[in-house]
Structure 1
């Protein structure tokens, strides 16, 4: 089976096109050698795959006939990825700046609602102060 099809079958990529693109970019290696998408995969091959800033290491146990369910993936491959790779990914999540910096660009929907609430509250309190006088 082709490497791009294998990675799609064992659910590392959502489409074969994504798997093919990863192979062409050099993100996939078999037995430490960069491969083209058409490279054949055999049982006992070691696949190194870089995806989402994680370096996965897989051992091919068997070749599936076609795409398989998520529960059956472990029959066809053994994931030997070091735990440090996943811990580094978790740390990256915390270091990312998910929100834009204040004052940069258009207000988000949440920002607009906050502004509207603030101005509505300011108008209401001002009207209450005027009526007391």
Structure 2
């Protein structure tokens, strides 16, 4: 198996929960190959370097294996390796989120009047 669509590979490698989310991300330019926008039907090849942004995090990965079947997470991690720059960048972003929390992340559900006032005070 050496001819798998990029959207199917992204789904199998567990970067996106559904294949349609992977397709939308590729269409919207959130997945790039060597800095270039690609189409969802493009075939992924071993040693391709992909920049992936799924909204929550962004990765830069090199393709090590090809699969069109979604399996367990440990198996999916064998399909790619993350670059060193990407690892350090994601660690720094996680540390930043730990130190400087967003004001609205502690609120569960619809904010109360007190919560809204606290949010507006924090954003001033």
TM range (shorter): 0.7 to 0.9
Counterparts of 1:58-77 in structure 2, within 5 Å, are: 58-77=61-80
Runs of 4+ in 1 over 4 A off after TM superposition: none
Q: Which has the larger radius of gyration?
A: 1
> How many residue pairs align between the two structures?
105
Higher relative contact order (CA 8 A, sep 6+): 2
The alignment's TM-score, normalised by the length of structure 2, stands at 0.73
Secondary structure of the structure 1 residue equivalent to 2:26:
helix
SS in 2 for 1:64: coil
- Select the residue among 23, 28, 31 that pairs with 1:20: 23
Aligned-partner Cα distance in 1 for 2:65–2:7: 15
Aligned to 1:102: 114
RMSD value, Cα? 2.1
Report the Cα offset of residue 6 of structure 1: 0.3
SS, match of residue 49 in structure 1: strand
Q: 1:53 to 1:90 in 2, by over 3 A?
A: farther
1:55 aligns with 2:67: no
Contact 2:48 2:63 in 1 (8 A): yes
The alpha-carbon deviation at position 55 of structure 1 amounts to: 2.4
